[in-house]
Amino acid sequence: MPMKSAGYFVAGLLFGLFLEASLLFVWVEREGIRVVLETDPLREAIQAQIEGEVAQRLPQILAEVRQQVPEKVAAQVDKELGETSFTLYGVRVELPPSATEGVRRKLKEEITKEFQRELDELDVTAMAQSWAKEATVAVESLLRQEMADWVVSWELFPGLSLPVFVDMR
């Protein structure tokens, strides 16, 4: 009889384990697996990448801007100083062409110098950091929106898949 009891015990144990595994599998299949992505390392990597790109490209962009400043300033000064006359006590006074040209030339020089000085004083590193922070916030927000209801179906066996829910923290 002890052999028979041991057989019932083993059969009951195996049935219990099978039942528990089945229930666990059904629960996991229905509820899925939840994967949590930590955003801090991702954010740091994105920010470092953007900061590096901006720091590398910004000096090139500023060099192009420096070259364009004199031309753009000249065009704007010529546009704004189309008429070189003023009214004084009801009398219209026109400046002679030589005086007008001198004023335009000096104005173009001073505005161009000021733009160049401002460009020279730009802190490329601080700008790169600032832009990288802004871009990182935008990218993280976009990722959160895109991944809000993201479910990956992981096929364990043909016809049997497990839903994997991806959350960002």
Query: What pLDDT, on a 0 to 100 scale, did the predictor assign at position 113?
Result: 93
**Nearest in space to 75 (alpha carbons), one of 111, 23, 120:** 111
- State the residue range of the domain holding 40: 32-168
User: In this structure, is residue 88 part of a structural domain?
Assistant: yes
User: In this structure, is residue 65 part of a structural domain?
Assistant: yes
Query: What pLDDT, on a 0 to 100 scale, did the predictor assign at position 93?
Result: 79
User: In this structure, is residue 10 part of a structural domain?
Assistant: no
**Nearest in space to 167 (alpha carbons), one of 148, 139, 142:** 148
User: In this structure, is residue 11 part of a structural domain?
Assistant: no
Read off the pLDDT of residues 95-116 as tens digits, 9 standing for 90 and up: 777 777 888 888 889 989 998 9
Query: What pLDDT, on a 0 to 100 scale, did the predictor assign at position 114?
Result: 92
User: In this structure, is residue 20 part of a structural domain?
Assistant: no
User: In this structure, is residue 44 part of a structural domain?
Assistant: yes
Average of per-residue pLDDT values in the chain: 83
Read off the pLDDT of residues 48-104 as tens digits, 9 standing for 90 and up: 998 899 888 988 988 998 899 889 888 888 887 766 777 778 888 777 777 778 888
User: In this structure, is residue 6 part of a structural domain?
Assistant: no
User: In this structure, is residue 89 part of a structural domain?
Assistant: yes
Number of domains composing the chain: 1
